[in-house]
Amino acid sequence: MRPIDTNMRLSQTLFGATFHNPVLLAAGTCGFGEELEDALDLEALGGIVTKSVTLEPRAGNPPPRVVEAGNAMLNSVGLANPGLERVCSEKLPWMREHLSSIQVFVSVAGHVPDEYWRIIEGLESVGGFLGYELNLSCPNDTRLGGLPFALDPDALRVVVEGARKLTDRPLLVKLAPNVPDIGPVAEAAEDAGADGVTLVNTMPGLLIDIASRRAALGAGSGGLSGPALRAVGVHAVHRARACTSITLLGVGGITAAEDAIQYLLAGASLVQVGTATFADPRAAQRVVMGIARYTEKMGIENVQDLIGVVQGTDRPVPVSGGPR
């Protein structure tokens, strides 16, 4: 089944572009699309977000890069990617040719604001994609405090304001979940000129192999993803919805349509599927079909009628741990 032909219930216009359905593949879990081309029908999705692109090629971290973590996965891939030059000469032309009917966001990462800006300038000169998603979860230069930009609203503003001046394309800012309150961080992204906020990136985690007494991942600690992250992501979207009016994209722990619908109800217009693709390359396609079935069954004319309509969450949203 091709939802793009058959299901106008799932179609939305966002950022001046048509999304055939609200389901995208998440950054870092689908490369630039080619690796998954034979495994699923990419054109049946709403779009993809590419692997984060850095200025220079990166080989990535030592193995193991991925370990199972209960109802989750821990990874430290180290942003392995071919770098700006090869992305411009090889990946963008491939995506332009093969993914022309879906929406593509190029994910951008760096250690200092200038790196983000130089990558955007380079990508702008080639084009062939809808917009950018700034991955602000990378630790920034120690001269800037060494914190990931996503944990430091002032540093985040600098990156986003500079990026805004370089492009008219939709600019998404991807946030990290490990902040006391994600609302003001999303607000900072909106003030700085972002068109949308993606919530959430992975959560920091550490697993230890007790036989060797060493970290289970080659790089030491890593980022937790998968079902265990879902409630954190849904909460982050709900909190950002209360603080901002820009478009939200929900990501974290989506393995089935029921998970994606929670994100829509919390206030996300689009969702992204990440870790689930590793277990089942067609997971995102299943999510699309499940949302279509749900809207039909519930008599919902367009998926937009689901966005942000959650009820029963009017108690103050907890912003830190502890008993309530």
Ligand X SMILES: Cc1cc2nc3c(=O)[nH]c(=O)nc-3n(C[C@H](O)[C@H](O)[C@H](O)COP(=O)(O)O)c2cc1C
Tokens of 292: 């279509």
Q: What part of residues 94-133 is at the interface with ligand X (CB under 6 A)?
A: 107
238: nearest Cα among 318, 321, 128, 118: 318
* Window of 144-152, 252-260, 261-269, 305-313 that interacts with ligand X by CB under 6 A: 252-260
Choosing from 30, 88, 138, 243, which is the catalytic residue?
138
Indicate whether 285 belongs to the interface with ligand X (CB under 6 A): no
User: Residue 134 CB, nearest distance to ligand X (Å)?
Assistant: 9
Indicate whether 273 belongs to the interface with ligand X (CB under 6 A): yes
Q: How many residues does the chain have?
A: 324
Tokens of 193: 């000129």
How many residues of this chain interact with ligand X, rule: CB under 6 A?
27
Indicate whether 226 belongs to the interface with ligand X (CB under 6 A): yes
* Window of 36-44, 88-96, 179-187, 273-281 that interacts with ligand X by CB under 6 A: 273-281
Is 88 among the catalytic positions? no
Q: Which of 29, 140, 178, 244 binds ligand X (CB under 6 A)?
A: 29
Indicate whether 235 belongs to the interface with ligand X (CB under 6 A): no
Cβ distance 221 to 215 under 8 Å?
A: yes
Q: Which of 69, 102, 182, 229 binds ligand X (CB under 6 A)?
A: 229
- Residue 311: count of CB within 10 angstroms of its CB: 6
Q: Which of 22, 131, 205, 253 binds ligand X (CB under 6 A)?
A: 253
48: nearest Cα among 104, 92, 107: 104
Q: What part of residues 137-176 is at the interface with ligand X (CB under 6 A)?
A: 174
Indicate whether 61 belongs to the interface with ligand X (CB under 6 A): no
Q: Which of 140, 262, 275, 295 binds ligand X (CB under 6 A)?
A: 275
Indicate whether 240 belongs to the interface with ligand X (CB under 6 A): no
* Window of 140-148, 179-187, 208-216, 245-253 that interacts with ligand X by CB under 6 A: 245-253
User: Residue 65 CB, nearest distance to ligand X (Å)?
Assistant: 7
CB-nearer residue toward ligand X: 88 or 176: 176
Cβ distance 214 to 221 under 8 Å?
A: no
User: Residue 9 CB, nearest distance to ligand X (Å)?
Assistant: 24
CB-nearer residue toward ligand X: 18 or 280: 280
Indicate whether 53 belongs to the interface with ligand X (CB under 6 A): no
x-marked contacts with ligand X along 201-220 as a string, rule CB under 6 A: xx------------------
Active site residues: 138
**What are the residues binding ligand X (CB under 6 A)?**
26-29, 51-52, 66, 73, 75, 77, 79, 107, 135, 174, 201-202, 225-226, 229, 251-254, 273-276
